[in-house]
Amino acid sequence: MSIEPYRVHAYNTAKQSENKMHDDAVAKRFGFSGGLVPGVDVMAYMMHQPVAKWGRAFLEHGLIDARFVKPVYDGELTELTATESDGVLSIEVKSRGQLCATGTASLPASAPAVSIADYKEVAVVAERKPVNAASYEVGKWLGTTPRDWAGDAATEYLADIREADPIYGNEDLGHPGLLQRVMNKVLVDNAILGPWIHVGSRMQLLSAAKTGDVITARAKVIGNYDKKGHRFVELDALVVGNGMTPLAHCHHIAIYQPREQAAA
């Protein structure tokens, strides 16, 4: 069963970001056509169809997995198609006639039980230093600076990701793409990175975030390895609202030193 396609004019929210992979000139040095639209925002686009199908239930206990294959660029028309089979939506993101991302979304009967006590709460590093082998050691716990998106910030975020579904404003809910932004902050808040790339994520939602929730992540490094000259990091994390409510269980994968940089 096919779901109605969703089209969005992609927007690079991170042109001024510390991550220069979103800067046109730097991205071109790595072989791209221009600055990359952040993967977390492409993943936010991918949540539109599951939320349109399942509504608030998806925000409370939905499951989404995304892999980023090729870049999505600023201003380009991006089409998302979703096909349902046995309760699972298979999602494809295409731009410029190319497959840019793939993923799946589903609605488990209920949110799995996750104990907040299993995820260690730690502060961010006292002083960020240029990323090195010790920044993301396997087994290390990482925290984030608390963040909230309330009022104008919440409205601005929905505009940035081109999301017009009224559920967020009508029910005062936070978009789950915000939780993915916090997952990126696990990396950014604990080291000074050069250009880097979000590769993919799996996110099991556990509770609907509310506009204005103070959001943090408690992340454990579960992978740090070289693959084809790139240096990867993998995180297992619990995203928490207001210090006590588990919002999502996330598996996050990023190239924290791309090949051209790693070889330098």
SS3 content of the chain, % helix, strand, coil (to 5): 25, 35, 40
Q: Is 131 helix (H, G, I), strand (E, B) or coil?
A: coil
Q: Are 215 and 239 in contact (CB under 8 A)?
A: yes
In this structure, what are the phi and psi dihedrals at residue 123, rounded to the nearest 5 degrees? -80, 160
Q: What is the pLDDT of residue 199?
A: 95
Q: Are 82 and 49 in contact (CB under 8 A)?
A: yes
- pLDDT-based confidence at 264, cuts 50/70/90? very low
Q: What is the pLDDT of residue 22?
A: 61
In this structure, what are the phi and psi dihedrals at residue 61, rounded to the nearest 5 degrees? -155, 30
- 18-44 residue pLDDT tens: 766 667 777 777 778 777 888 999 999
DSSP 257: E
**How far is 67 from 118, CA to CA, in rounded Å?**
27
Indicate the length of the chain as a whole number. 264
**Domain ranges (residues) in the chain:** 2-262
Closest by alpha carbon to 108, among 28, 35, 206? 206
Instruction: Average the pLDDT over 154-162 and give the result.
Output: 93
**Residue 111 in tokens:** 């949110």
Q: How far apart are the first and last CA of the chain?
A: 48
CATH of 2-262, one of 3.10.129.10, 3.90.480.20, 3.30.1330.60, 3.40.50.300: 3.10.129.10
- 174-189 residue pLDDT tens: 999 999 999 999 999 9
**How far is 75 from 35, CA to CA, in rounded Å?**
11
Instruction: Average the pLDDT over 142-156 and give the result.
Output: 91
Cα angle for residues 131, 135, 138 (degrees, 5° grid): 140
Mean pLDDT across the chain, nearest whole number?
92
Cα atoms found within 13 Å of the Cα of residue 123, Cβ hemisphere only: 4
**Residue 188 in tokens:** 């950014």
- 68-98 residue pLDDT tens: 999 998 889 999 999 999 999 999 999 999 9
DSSP 117: G
**How far is 163 from 157, CA to CA, in rounded Å?**
9
- 190-237 residue pLDDT tens: 999 988 899 999 999 999 999 999 999 999 999 999 999 999 999 999
Q: What is the pLDDT of residue 262?
A: 45
